[in-house]
Copies of this chain bind each other. A is one copy, B any other.
Amino acid sequence: MPYSAEHKKQSRERILLSAIDLFCRRGFDQISIAQIMQHAEMTHGAFYAHFSSKVSLYAEAILTAGRHSLLVRKGGDLDKEKMRYLVTEYLSMEHVRQEGYACPLAFLSTDVAHRDSEVRASYEKVFNGMVDRLAQALEATGRSLQTARAQAQYLVVTMVGTVSIARSLSDTESQKALLENSKSSLFAMLAD
Protein backbone atom coordinates (compact mmCIF):
# COMPACT_ATOMS: atom_id res chain seq x y z
CA MET A 1 0.00 0.00 0.00
CA PRO A 2 1.32 3.42 -0.95
CA TYR A 3 0.29 5.17 2.26
CA SER A 4 0.88 3.39 5.55
CA ALA A 5 -1.04 3.99 8.75
CA GLU A 6 2.13 5.49 10.16
CA HIS A 7 2.35 7.93 7.28
CA LYS A 8 -1.20 9.07 7.91
CA LYS A 9 -0.50 9.53 11.59
CA GLN A 10 2.47 11.73 10.79
CA SER A 11 0.51 13.86 8.35
CA ARG A 12 -2.20 14.36 10.93
CA GLU A 13 0.40 15.37 13.49
CA ARG A 14 1.94 17.90 11.11
CA ILE A 15 -1.47 19.45 10.51
CA LEU A 16 -2.12 19.69 14.25
CA LEU A 17 1.22 21.33 14.98
CA SER A 18 0.79 23.81 12.13
CA ALA A 19 -2.70 24.63 13.32
CA ILE A 20 -1.58 25.32 16.89
CA ASP A 21 1.18 27.62 15.77
CA LEU A 22 -0.94 29.58 13.30
CA PHE A 23 -4.14 29.79 15.34
CA CYS A 24 -2.22 31.09 18.35
CA ARG A 25 -0.46 33.61 16.16
CA ARG A 26 -3.47 35.08 14.36
CA GLY A 27 -6.68 33.53 15.69
CA PHE A 28 -9.19 31.11 14.24
CA ASP A 29 -10.82 33.31 11.63
CA GLN A 30 -7.67 34.85 10.21
CA ILE A 31 -6.11 31.51 9.37
CA SER A 32 -7.44 29.49 6.45
CA ILE A 33 -7.30 25.74 5.97
CA ALA A 34 -5.15 26.37 2.91
CA GLN A 35 -2.58 28.21 5.03
CA ILE A 36 -2.45 25.46 7.62
CA MET A 37 -2.01 22.80 4.95
CA GLN A 38 0.67 24.81 3.19
CA HIS A 39 2.54 25.14 6.50
CA ALA A 40 2.20 21.37 6.92
CA GLU A 41 3.46 20.90 3.35
CA MET A 42 0.29 19.51 1.84
CA THR A 43 -2.50 20.89 -0.29
CA HIS A 44 -5.91 22.16 0.70
CA GLY A 45 -7.87 19.13 -0.49
CA ALA A 46 -5.94 16.64 1.66
CA PHE A 47 -7.24 18.24 4.83
CA TYR A 48 -10.54 16.38 4.89
CA ALA A 49 -8.86 12.99 4.99
CA HIS A 50 -7.81 13.89 8.55
CA PHE A 51 -10.43 16.21 10.05
CA SER A 52 -14.13 16.64 9.40
CA SER A 53 -14.13 20.43 9.62
CA LYS A 54 -12.04 23.44 10.56
CA VAL A 55 -13.81 23.79 13.90
CA SER A 56 -13.18 20.17 14.76
CA LEU A 57 -9.46 20.70 14.10
CA TYR A 58 -9.58 23.74 16.36
CA ALA A 59 -11.02 21.77 19.27
CA GLU A 60 -8.34 19.11 18.97
CA ALA A 61 -5.54 21.62 18.41
CA ILE A 62 -6.38 23.32 21.71
CA LEU A 63 -6.04 20.03 23.57
CA THR A 64 -2.71 19.32 21.89
CA ALA A 65 -1.47 22.84 22.61
CA GLY A 66 -2.40 22.32 26.24
CA ARG A 67 -0.19 19.24 26.40
CA HIS A 68 2.73 21.20 24.94
CA SER A 69 2.26 24.23 27.18
CA LEU A 70 4.77 25.48 29.71
CA LEU A 71 2.37 24.85 32.57
CA VAL A 72 2.15 21.09 32.12
CA ARG A 73 5.17 20.11 30.05
CA LYS A 74 7.74 19.70 32.81
CA GLY A 75 7.96 16.09 33.85
CA GLY A 76 7.92 14.84 37.41
CA ASP A 77 6.89 16.73 40.50
CA LEU A 78 7.18 20.47 40.81
CA ASP A 79 9.12 21.80 43.75
CA LYS A 80 9.24 25.46 44.79
CA GLU A 81 12.23 26.23 42.61
CA LYS A 82 10.67 24.67 39.51
CA MET A 83 7.49 26.63 40.08
CA ARG A 84 9.36 29.90 40.21
CA TYR A 85 11.14 28.95 37.01
CA LEU A 86 7.84 28.07 35.36
CA VAL A 87 6.27 31.40 36.27
CA THR A 88 9.33 33.21 34.95
CA GLU A 89 9.16 31.38 31.64
CA TYR A 90 5.42 31.94 31.31
CA LEU A 91 5.78 35.64 32.00
CA SER A 92 8.65 36.13 29.56
CA MET A 93 8.90 38.15 26.36
CA GLU A 94 9.76 34.94 24.51
CA HIS A 95 6.36 33.57 25.42
CA VAL A 96 4.58 36.82 24.52
CA ARG A 97 6.36 36.84 21.16
CA GLN A 98 5.51 33.17 20.67
CA GLU A 99 9.05 32.09 20.05
CA GLY A 100 8.40 28.62 21.44
CA TYR A 101 5.17 26.84 22.33
CA ALA A 102 2.34 29.19 23.24
CA CYS A 103 -0.20 28.62 25.98
CA PRO A 104 -3.63 28.35 24.34
CA LEU A 105 -5.31 29.75 27.45
CA ALA A 106 -3.54 33.07 27.02
CA PHE A 107 -3.42 33.20 23.23
CA LEU A 108 -6.95 32.05 22.44
CA SER A 109 -9.12 33.12 25.37
CA THR A 110 -11.52 35.58 23.77
CA ASP A 111 -11.37 33.67 20.52
CA VAL A 112 -12.67 30.50 22.18
CA ALA A 113 -15.49 32.36 23.91
CA HIS A 114 -17.20 32.83 20.52
CA ARG A 115 -17.15 29.16 19.47
CA ASP A 116 -19.41 26.17 20.06
CA SER A 117 -19.45 23.94 23.12
CA GLU A 118 -16.96 21.41 21.74
CA VAL A 119 -14.25 24.06 21.47
CA ARG A 120 -15.08 25.54 24.86
CA ALA A 121 -14.97 22.08 26.41
CA SER A 122 -11.42 21.67 25.09
CA TYR A 123 -10.44 24.99 26.58
CA GLU A 124 -11.97 24.11 29.94
CA LYS A 125 -10.16 20.78 29.97
CA VAL A 126 -6.80 22.47 29.41
CA PHE A 127 -7.56 25.01 32.10
CA ASN A 128 -8.53 22.39 34.66
CA GLY A 129 -5.47 20.32 33.84
CA MET A 130 -3.16 23.22 34.53
CA VAL A 131 -4.90 24.17 37.75
CA ASP A 132 -4.74 20.57 38.95
CA ARG A 133 -1.05 20.30 38.24
CA LEU A 134 -0.19 23.52 40.05
CA ALA A 135 -2.52 22.72 42.94
CA GLN A 136 -0.75 19.43 43.45
CA ALA A 137 2.60 21.19 43.59
CA LEU A 138 1.32 23.79 46.05
CA GLU A 139 -0.19 21.14 48.28
CA ALA A 140 3.20 19.44 48.41
CA THR A 141 4.68 22.61 49.93
CA GLY A 142 2.47 22.23 53.00
CA ARG A 143 -0.69 24.12 52.01
CA SER A 144 -4.14 22.68 52.61
CA LEU A 145 -5.91 21.19 49.61
CA GLN A 146 -8.39 24.03 49.60
CA THR A 147 -5.76 26.76 49.77
CA ALA A 148 -3.65 25.02 47.15
CA ARG A 149 -6.53 24.83 44.68
CA ALA A 150 -7.55 28.44 45.26
CA GLN A 151 -4.01 29.71 44.81
CA ALA A 152 -3.41 27.55 41.75
CA GLN A 153 -6.52 28.89 40.07
CA TYR A 154 -5.55 32.42 40.95
CA LEU A 155 -2.04 31.85 39.64
CA VAL A 156 -3.26 30.64 36.26
CA VAL A 157 -5.82 33.44 35.91
CA THR A 158 -3.24 36.13 36.63
CA MET A 159 -0.59 34.70 34.33
CA VAL A 160 -3.08 34.28 31.52
CA GLY A 161 -4.41 37.80 31.99
CA THR A 162 -0.91 39.24 32.02
CA VAL A 163 0.29 37.53 28.85
CA SER A 164 -2.97 38.13 27.07
CA ILE A 165 -2.95 41.88 27.79
CA ALA A 166 0.78 42.17 27.11
CA ARG A 167 0.23 40.77 23.62
CA SER A 168 -2.35 43.45 22.91
CA LEU A 169 -0.17 46.39 23.91
CA SER A 170 1.72 48.19 21.17
CA ASP A 171 4.80 49.19 23.12
CA THR A 172 7.57 46.74 24.04
CA GLU A 173 8.56 48.57 27.20
CA SER A 174 5.00 48.51 28.53
CA GLN A 175 4.87 44.78 27.85
CA LYS A 176 8.05 44.17 29.82
CA ALA A 177 6.91 46.31 32.73
CA LEU A 178 3.60 44.47 32.89
CA LEU A 179 5.28 41.05 32.95
CA GLU A 180 7.71 42.14 35.68
CA ASN A 181 5.00 43.59 37.84
CA SER A 182 2.86 40.45 37.78
CA LYS A 183 5.92 38.33 38.40
CA SER A 184 6.80 40.12 41.62
CA SER A 185 3.27 39.80 42.96
CA LEU A 186 3.06 36.10 42.15
CA PHE A 187 6.49 35.40 43.61
CA ALA A 188 5.30 37.02 46.82
CA MET A 189 2.34 34.68 46.90
CA LEU A 190 4.52 31.63 46.25
CA ALA A 191 7.03 32.63 48.92
CA ASP A 192 4.65 32.04 51.83
- A residues near B, CB below 8 A? 25-27, 29-30, 105-114, 117, 120-121, 123-124, 127, 150, 153-154, 156-162, 164-165, 167-171, 174, 178, 181-182, 184-185
Contacts and interface: CB of A to CB of B under 8 A. Distances in A.
B178 A153 contact: yes
A128 to B, nearest CB: 8
A127 B167 CA distance: 12
Contacts of A108: 110, 168
Chain A contact residues, majority secondary structure:
helix
Contacts of A111: 27, 110-111
Nearest to A28: B29
A124 B168 CA distance: 7
A164 to B, nearest CB: 5
Contact of A165 (B107, B150, B160, B165): B160
A157 B168 contact: no
A29 B110 CA distance: 12
A68 to B, nearest CB: 18
A154 B127 contact: no
Contacts of A124: 168-171, 174
A164 B160 contact: yes
Contact of A110 (B167, B169, B184): B167
